[in-house]
Structure 1
Amino acid sequence: MKEIKHVFFDLDHTLWDFEKNSALAFEKIFEELNFNIDSKKFMDIYNPINVAYWKLYERNEIDQETLRINRVKDAFEAIGLTITLDEIHTISDLFIAYLTSNNHLIDGTIDLLEYLKEKYTLHIITNGFSSVQEVKLQKSNLDKYFVTITDSEAAGNKKPHETIFQHALTVANASKAESIMVGDSIEADVLGAINFGITAVYFNPSNEKVPNDQIIQIQKLIQLKNIL
């Protein structure tokens, strides 16, 4: 890793705790709309549905609006509650509005970034909606650590497509040999980066099975200190 000068991070699920912040957003929404729903049980249903729709979105099989609406609709159907399309739109809009009301980070995020900023230039590559991601970074005080922020809307393509990685390197004035990608998605972050030609580290807190044993992985962010 001696050649590494630039570290690129995914944001959601890697540094910014999407599950915890989402649960708090839905808890606020259910209270405001007088829905008698246990937010924890709802999130157990919602999370895998959300992940599945994000994978479709990353593969360009659905658009942003379909992602936003269908993940809510499917989650309510899965818990056996029928709501109108207007209510689905209301919940989806409130979710985006309230998502950044709380900005919990994955354990070890600040400690790791404080360590890395003295040795490397840090960057973000995210498939998230640009307007929302900017607010997340600002409200969580993460923006001060990153020199460049590349989102899929600006790059014209989403991870794992090579276009977004090339865009990120160009903006960062970095070469492939000098760069490393860290993220929680084996398909979008890790294989996307590897196929593009840069080193990748899989943030794998659940210890999911990896496609091959050559993939570098960590279960806690702080373990990245042993690599970089």
Structure 2
Amino acid sequence: MKYDIIIFDADETLFDFKKTERVALRDTMLEFNVDYNEAEHLNIYKEINTAIWKELEDGRITQNQLKVERFSRFLGKLNYNIEASIFGKAYMNHLAKGSYLFKDSVELVENLSNGFKLMIITNGLKSVQEHRIKKSIIADYFESIIVSEEVGVSKPDPKIFEIALRTYNIDKKKILIVGDSLTSDIQGGINYGIDTCWFNPHQKENSYGIKPTYEIYSLSELTNIVNKSR
């Protein structure tokens, strides 16, 4: 068997984070009595949030700073006089409630758990991921779930892989990471020296020059890849 361990990213790989984000932002805005306009507010937030998580990947901001700064920028852009830290806490409370899996996730994880050791490594905040992922219906299939805030380092830093795998005496050639982000999951796997599988359901153009070992457009394709490796 080529692979013994399969590492998954969580959000937008197994979990539908876009839905979680959409519902959480709506419910938070309504909590603060804001007349919510999804077309306007969600697009502004996503643009700001994507940029600030990239800053985290690049080491230009800490996760503690991120918690408040993204909402400081968001509320400032909209000229709303709401305390960013209070808004941020309310948003994370709503975000933690949203554990939505993609339709193929459960079947895939169940099948793979019979022949492989499974892990999750996710860039995220402990208070959010604790509920969304660690208490999800698929959590028990994973030997470990590593949340970046808990361990103090984020993908693509190879240290997060070292932490996740420190109890395993295993050849890196027997490890595969699966994720939707080229700059986080795939670059992280490359940095650590393991095979990578880019989950690209929307068939986005790869404009980063980052070369995954495999590219798949549906989760079901992963089963074929790992079974061929046996």
Normalised TM-score (structure 2): 0.88
Count of aligned pairs: 224
Of 17-26 and 205-214, the range deviating more from structure 2: 205-214
Of 165-174 and 191-200, the range deviating more from structure 2: 165-174
In the alignment, which residue of structure 2 is the partner of 1:61? 60
2:138 to 142, 148, 153: 142
| Contact 1:103–1:140 (Cα < 8 Å) also in 2 | yes
In the alignment, which residue of structure 1 is the partner of 2:80? 83
Of 114-123 and 40-49, the range deviating more from structure 2: 40-49
Letter in 2 for 1:31: L
| Contact 2:124–2:147 (Cα < 8 Å) also in 1 | yes
| TM-fit CA distance, 1:159 | 1.0
- Answering whether residue 10 of structure 2 is matched by residue 11 of structure 1, we say yes
Structure 2 residues without counterparts, runs of 5 or longer: none
Q: Indicate the percent of aligned positions where both proteins have the same amino acid.
A: 33
- Answering whether residue 25 of structure 2 is matched by residue 26 of structure 1, we say yes
* Alpha-carbon spacing, 1:205–1:77, altered in 2? closer, same or farther (3 Å): farther
In the alignment, which residue of structure 2 is the partner of 1:122? 118
Letter in 1 for 2:69: N
| CA distance in 2: counterparts of 1:191 and 1:11, whole angstroms | 16
| CA distance in 1: counterparts of 2:48 and 2:138, whole angstroms | 28
In the alignment, which residue of structure 1 is the partner of 2:108? 112
| CA distance in 2: counterparts of 1:50 and 1:62, whole angstroms | 13
| CA distance in 1: counterparts of 2:167 and 2:94, whole angstroms | 31
Letter in 2 for 1:4: Y
**Coordinate RMSD, CA, aligned:** 2.0
Q: Which SS does the other structure have where 2:165 is aligned? A: helix
2:214 to 213, 216, 226: 216
Q: Which SS does the other structure have where 1:75 is aligned? A: helix
| Contact 2:6–2:119 (Cα < 8 Å) also in 1 | yes
Normalised TM-score (structure 1): 0.89
Once the two structures are superposed, residues 70-125 of structure 1 have per-residue CA deviations (whole angstroms, 9 ceiling, x without a partner) of 222333444xx212352x22221011111122211123111211111111110011
| TM-fit CA distance, 1:141 | 1.7
| TM-fit CA distance, 1:40 | 4.5
| CA distance in 1: counterparts of 2:212 and 2:58, whole angstroms | 25
Letter in 2 for 1:225: T
Of 184-193 and 202-211, the range deviating more from structure 2: 202-211
1:194 to 181, 190, 196: 190
Letter in 1 for 2:107: D
| CA distance in 2: counterparts of 1:25 and 1:154, whole angstroms | 22
| TM-fit CA distance, 1:151 | 2.5
Letter in 1 for 2:48: I
